[in-house]
Structure 1
Amino acid sequence: MDYFRFVFLMVLASFIEDSLATSCAVDQFRVKNGFDYKRYTGKWYAVAKKDPEGLFLQDNIWAEYFVDDEGTMTALSKGRVKLFGFWVICADMTAQYNIPDPHIPGKMEMAYRGLARYLSSGGDHYWVIDTDYDSYAVTYACRRLKDDGTCDDGYAIIFSRNPLGLPPNIQRIVRQKQEEICLAGQFEPVLQSGACP
């Protein structure tokens, strides 16, 4: 009888562990609760990134966010990109953000345009997974979903207010958020050498 009780408890524990595990379905990802886009304004420096498919900014990435009198958030960003496999330039991008559901302001839609004619224009989701507004922000975008609801092509950027990076206590928070969006171990550091002021 003890053997069957043991097996039952092991199966139950496995079921509970599976149900509590982080879901990688994109619609299950939580964003910053009560996101305040006015506090988010100002300059942010990318310190780590997970690239999508295709052309993407390489390093020296920064973004500066603004909110106008009508409450519209826009951003100017810059970063180095390699074109044609050899030509490295600092590329400018502009973006405007729309909040489709005012109850979830951390889930935005971003319309962007590359000022260099080589960079694409389009739209992506722009989700602020977490931020403290003063030191770090974890952002996420999924460009294409798989049939099971997980992301087939997406990207994420870890931003810091300081181009030198994040303190150890904040790095722990960021690692936890990377796990929550199923991207742990997929980020690479972003060089900030001042090449794109």
Structure 2
Amino acid sequence: MIDKTVVKELDFDRYFGTWYEIARYDHRFEQGLVGVTATYSLRNDGKIKVVNRGYKESLQGPLSEAEGKAKVPDKNVPGKLKVSFFWIFYGDYFVLDLDEDYQWVLIGSSSDKYLWILSRTPQISDELYQQLLVKLSKRGYDVSRLIKVEQTGK
């Protein structure tokens, strides 16, 4: 059984900005993408703008970009968002764990098929990566399924 408990508090002003994908469960809509980032900002309608970018096959490959929107359906549970990239179809975006300084975040879903480790920087230390794997393992996630995402050196 996987523990999908989400954070109790989420300061969106601090969460907004760009996050680098450090690792993910592989899935069809990101297959073969490297240098992946997710950028969050506030839209005029109060929803959250989500822009995912990544390069196909190599950091010199063609850029792939998807723009979507996110919303918080229950203001009492800010860590459970709904994200849409395809018209009216929304998927779960669960903020499972978040660094107190908003430097890394663990993202899951109601489905066991999705898992991400994101960071404010393109790389994290091996020590931090191992600590995050332990956190995910304790929740019941199969961390052997994670693929590390090639990132820029910036």
Flag whether TM exceeds 0.5 (same fold): yes
Conserved? CA contact 1:137–1:159, under 8 Å: yes
**What TM-score, normalized to structure 2?**
0.81
Map Cα deviations across residues 91-122 of structure 1 (whole Å, 9 max, x no partner).
Answer: 10112111111111111100115xxxxxx994
Give distance in 2, aligned partners of 1:78 and 1:89: 10
Q: CA deviation at 1:77?
A: 1.5
CA separation of 1:192 and 1:184: change in aligned 2, threshold 3 A:
same
Question: What's the counterpart of residue 109 of structure 2?
Answer: 141
Map Cα deviations across residues 65-102 of structure 1 (whole Å, 9 max, x no partner).
Answer: 112465422121201236xxxxx532101121111111
Give distance in 2, aligned partners of 1:131 and 1:72: 21
**What TM-score, normalized to structure 1?**
0.65
Question: What's the counterpart of residue 112 of structure 1?
Answer: 85
Question: What's the counterpart of residue 142 of structure 2?
Answer: 183
The structure with the largest alpha-carbon Rg is 1
Map Cα deviations across residues 100-150 of structure 1 (whole Å, 9 max, x no partner).
Answer: 11111111100115xxxxxx994311111111253201111345xxxxxxx
Amino acid across the alignment from 1:42 = G
Give distance in 1, aligned partners of 2:152 and 2:26: 20
Question: What's the counterpart of residue 6 of structure 2?
Answer: 31
- Structure 2 runs not aligned, ≥5 long: none
Identity fraction in percent: 21
Question: What's the counterpart of residue 132 of structure 2?
Answer: 174
Q: Which has the larger share of helix?
A: 1
Conserved? CA contact 2:4–2:94, under 8 Å: no
Conserved? CA contact 2:4–2:108, under 8 Å: no
CA separation of 1:193 and 1:71: change in aligned 2, threshold 3 A:
same
Question: What's the counterpart of residue 50 of structure 2?
Answer: 75
Correspondence for 1:56 among 24, 27, 30 = 30
Conserved? CA contact 2:80–2:95, under 8 Å: yes
Give distance in 2, aligned partners of 1:69 and 1:162: 28
Q: CA RMSD in A?
A: 2.6
Q: CA deviation at 1:181?
A: 4.7
Structure of higher RCO (CA pairs closer than 8 Å, 6+ residues apart): 2
Amino acid across the alignment from 1:100 = P
